[in-house]
Structure 1
Amino acid sequence: MRKLMKSVVGMLMPVLLFSTIGASPVQAMVTPPSTHAQSAALIDVTSGRILYSKDGDKELRIASLTKIMTAIVAIEEGKLDDKVKVSPSAFAKEGSSLFLKLGEEMTLENMLYGLMLRSGNDAASAIAEHVGGSEEGFVLLMNKKAEQIGLTHSHFMNPHGLDAEGHYSTANDLARLTAYALHNPVFKRIVATENKSAPNPNESWEYSWHNKNKMLRLYDGADGVKTGYTKKAFRCLVSSATRDGQQLAAVTLNDGDDWNDHAKMLDFGFEHFPLVEIAKHEQPVQNMELVTGRGFKYPLAEGEQEALTKKLVLLDQRSQAETAGSNSTTGPSFGLAGRIDMQLHGEVIGSIPVYRKGSYIPPEPKVEDAALGSAMDVTTWLSVWKAVLSRLLSP
């Protein structure tokens, strides 16, 4: 069993590493949009490809865009139906607020709506204390998550985004964070909500929250994400929109004309980088008794498809033999035969597994299966492999 596990892990690691790339920057091929931002970025959510970047790695204050990280950590680490209590340190927090009462209790889910729609700093602190045990404990989780998803120019000091030394991120990192978070159905649902009501235990009337993100009303297809402002960070915004099955996310830091700039950035992405289906699920591999294990889509500018190449990498026969057996405990034959690396201009942009025809092919998980309160993987591809390993190694 140990030998089998070592063999499987040895085969999976290269593929998993490739699966997290998919973020090649755009080469100079189309005229980028002009913005008033100090720093900006545009990303395709499906692939993680940065489509536009202006000083995208410049480390800056990010104000309440911090709450994107707060929300996704809370969703992954907490339970949505938990009651969150407002402590003395969360009560009457400076800046934007839900005006929660001292000792008031609210479900984590409702508090997340207040966090993202009204940017409640009191909600941010209450959530952090509940999920992390303390605000400091939660900040550790935030920085751990940043490291996990590859945010190399970000560091968090608090869950709300009030100005603090050592608290910063970049447009590129925030774009990657947003793309990661938008793969979580709970996060995606919350940030797309324009109006939300919640029970108020202290009054006869309910809380009623109207989303501060005007892009939801100004831009066709808008479905997120978060506004931000402090006197030192100035106006910050992350927006997202979906058209024809493609979702983009735009980021600007210190931008006095952000609503218009975001419309221009999103228009630019949809017009010049449509999402192209490069491979289908269970598509036959030419001249081989193999099929693909999942589909692959990537945003490509005009003329880029000609620069796209596919490289088939096969496992050695010994590795295939060790994992190809079928018996009563492992179920159907596990027929992983290798992978196809997708390359653009010679750079790997993603990878898909290939299987022998007729062998067991693990299904891609349904979105709802990765939902409430559970950790979302960097890719759905990773959770597929967890299912495969569970099947292979079960007693």
Structure 2
Amino acid sequence: MKKSILLLVLIMFIPCLSYGEDLNLDGQNYILIEEKSGRVLVEKNSNVKLPMASTTKIMTAILAIEQGVMDEEIKIFKNDVNVGGSSIYLKEGERIKLEDLTYGLMLRSGNDSAVAIANHISGSEEEFVKLMNKKTKEIGAINTHFTNPHGLHDDNHYSTAYDLALIARYAFNNEKFEEVVKSKSYRVKNEREYDYFVNKNKTLWDYNGGDGVKIGYTSDAGRCLVASASRNNMRLIAVTLKDYNWFNDAYSLMDYGFENYSLYPIYLKDQLITQISVLKGKKDKLPLVPKNDFFYPMQDGEKNNIKISVRTDETVEAPILKGTELGSVEVYLNGQLIRKDKLIAKYDILKESFFKRLFKQHFKEENN
């Protein structure tokens, strides 16, 4: 039989900036999210579909890292060169590591690098684009559609500020991606002696804590920026599209986030949430703990209620192994579910022998 427990936790909280309100930015399509939780802190027109230029390459990079082997040396073919736009000037017949191509993609924004990666990973740009679009749906970026791996204009190549924030958030789960996009420069040795790539993303130099991710520009898309920064264990991701004041607007968004929000633990893994009764076990009670930590960005200055609902079986029967899923914890803000996690057994409970259970039952009856 299932039981449900409702815990009421009073903590300092304020909801995100009203969707109808803005920060007097020049851009008209932007968003700011906190990376760990994905919480939207402020946005304006963030679901409008727009061309996104080279911010496309965030997806290209994460697929290169996930699907490829960074140390693998790749031969450059005719289809990989002379792509147009920004370039790392690949030459037909040369050999270069996938890692070097990935740095050239994200730091120098090489369109030829994007095509070389696509052809290497999937055999053709067309097949790689299918992979890109499949991944966007898995991430939940449902208003994004790719037609190429680099971002040169196509009427059917578009995204939204919200979707690009989701894609960047997903990509930051990968340590290699984080290493690449936070690099200010990169030196690659190849058949042309040395190449030296300098990151075009000024956030790394201009903004305190800046650590990525990608700029983009075409005449159709305008100036597009996905920027990130980390302070006090909190990373913010700002996206602004078709914005001539792109960097300043992104900095203003992140200033707002860092000045008004801090990341607080709602619960930690291994933290006792509840206990359940155990039948036929060497212990009568079993502590349940969350499988994961849960941190959430919050503002000081106003109290609101966060409700935590715990659902478990009333009793379980031994033996039980540590880590066995035995319930769930749900976190609600203003009635809206913001997190659901598994509750698991904190430790093993072995089954008690029949004779020992019989003796304990007899002893209990004798003392009643």
TM-score range, shorter chain: 0.7 to 0.9
- Does 2:52 match 1:62? yes
Of the candidates 336, 342, 355, which is equivalent to residue 347 of structure 1?
336
Report the structure, 1 or 2, having the larger strand content: 2
- Evaluate the alpha carbon distance shift between residue 309 and residue 232 of structure 1 in structure 2; reply closer, same or farther with a 3 A threshold: same
**CA distance in 2: counterparts of 1:161 and 1:357, whole angstroms:** 48
Q: Which residue of 1 aligns with 2:37?
A: 47
Identity %: 41
Number of aligned residue pairs = 326
The residue identity in structure 2 corresponding to 1:311 is S
- Evaluate the alpha carbon distance shift between residue 290 and residue 138 of structure 1 in structure 2; reply closer, same or farther with a 3 A threshold: same
Q: Which residue of 1 aligns with 2:68?
A: 78
Alignment check: 8 A CA contact 1:292 1:355 kept: yes
Following superposition, the deviation at residue 169 of structure 1 comes to 0.2
- Does 2:229 match 1:231? no
Of the candidates 238, 242, 260, which is equivalent to residue 230 of structure 2?
242
Following superposition, the deviation at residue 316 of structure 1 comes to 6.9
Range that drifts further, 89-98 or 289-298: 289-298
**CA distance in 2: counterparts of 1:346 and 1:334, whole angstroms:** 29
Q: Which residue of 2 aligns with 1:381?
A: none
Alignment check: 8 A CA contact 1:37 1:256 kept: yes
Following superposition, the deviation at residue 27 of structure 1 comes to 5.5
Q: Which residue of 2 aligns with 1:190?
A: 180
Deviations 1:10-55 (A, max 9, x none): xxxxxxxxxxxxxxx8353996422211311111111111111110
Alignment check: 8 A CA contact 1:236 1:253 kept: yes
Q: Which residue of 2 aligns with 1:280?
A: 268
Structure number, greater radius of gyration? 2
Q: Which residue of 2 aligns with 1:200?
A: 190
Deviations 1:290-343 (A, max 9, x none): 3333321011233566221100011475xx55xx646xxxxx444322111011
The residue identity in structure 2 corresponding to 1:301 is Q
Q: Which residue of 2 aligns with 1:307?
A: 305
**CA distance in 2: counterparts of 1:189 and 1:305, whole angstroms:** 38
3-state SS, counterpart of residue 255 of structure 1: coil
**CA distance in 2: counterparts of 1:305 and 1:142, whole angstroms:** 42
Of the candidates 85, 106, 114, which is equivalent to residue 116 of structure 1?
106
**CA distance in 1: counterparts of 2:50 and 2:97, whole angstroms:** 33
3-state SS, counterpart of residue 307 of structure 1: strand
Alignment check: 8 A CA contact 1:295 1:352 kept: no
Following superposition, the deviation at residue 263 of structure 1 comes to 1.0
**CA distance in 1: counterparts of 2:213 and 2:325, whole angstroms:** 38
- Does 2:123 match 1:133? yes
Of the candidates 325, 329, 332, which is equivalent to residue 336 of structure 1?
325
Structure 2: runs of 5 or more not aligned: 1-14, 277-286, 350-368
In the TM superposition, what are the counterparts of 1:286-305 in structure 2 within 5 Å?
289-302=287-300
Alignment check: 8 A CA contact 2:17 2:42 kept: no
- Evaluate the alpha carbon distance shift between residue 357 and residue 333 of structure 1 in structure 2; reply closer, same or farther with a 3 A threshold: closer
Deviations 1:149-169 (A, max 9, x none): 111100000000000121000
Following superposition, the deviation at residue 89 of structure 1 comes to 1.7
Relative to the length of structure 1, the TM-score reads 0.78
The residue identity in structure 2 corresponding to 1:123 is S
Q: Which residue of 1 aligns with 2:256?
A: 268
**CA distance in 2: counterparts of 1:66 and 1:173, whole angstroms:** 11
Q: Which residue of 1 aligns with 2:279?
A: none
Q: Which residue of 2 aligns with 1:380?
A: none
Q: Which residue of 2 aligns with 1:211?
A: 199
**CA distance in 2: counterparts of 1:353 and 1:194, whole angstroms:** 40
Deviations 1:231-261 (A, max 9, x none): 1001101110000000111101011111111
Q: Which residue of 1 aligns with 2:166?
A: 176
Report the structure, 1 or 2, having the larger helix content: 1
3-state SS, counterpart of residue 168 of structure 1: coil
**CA distance in 2: counterparts of 1:87 and 1:274, whole angstroms:** 49
Range that drifts further, 215-224 or 264-273: 264-273
RMSD across aligned positions (CA)? 2.1
**CA distance in 2: counterparts of 1:212 and 1:98, whole angstroms:** 13
Structure 1: runs of 5 or more not aligned: 1-24, 327-331, 361-395
Following superposition, the deviation at residue 83 of structure 1 comes to 1.7
Q: Which residue of 2 aligns with 1:18?
A: none
- Evaluate the alpha carbon distance shift between residue 104 and residue 263 of structure 1 in structure 2; reply closer, same or farther with a 3 A threshold: same
In the TM superposition, what are the counterparts of 1:87-98 in structure 2 within 5 Å?
87-98=77-88
Q: Which residue of 2 aligns with 1:359?
A: 348
**CA distance in 1: counterparts of 2:28 and 2:75, whole angstroms:** 38
**CA distance in 2: counterparts of 1:305 and 1:336, whole angstroms:** 33
Following superposition, the deviation at residue 230 of structure 1 comes to 0.3
Relative to the length of structure 2, the TM-score reads 0.84
Alignment check: 8 A CA contact 1:57 1:172 kept: yes
Following superposition, the deviation at residue 95 of structure 1 comes to 0.2
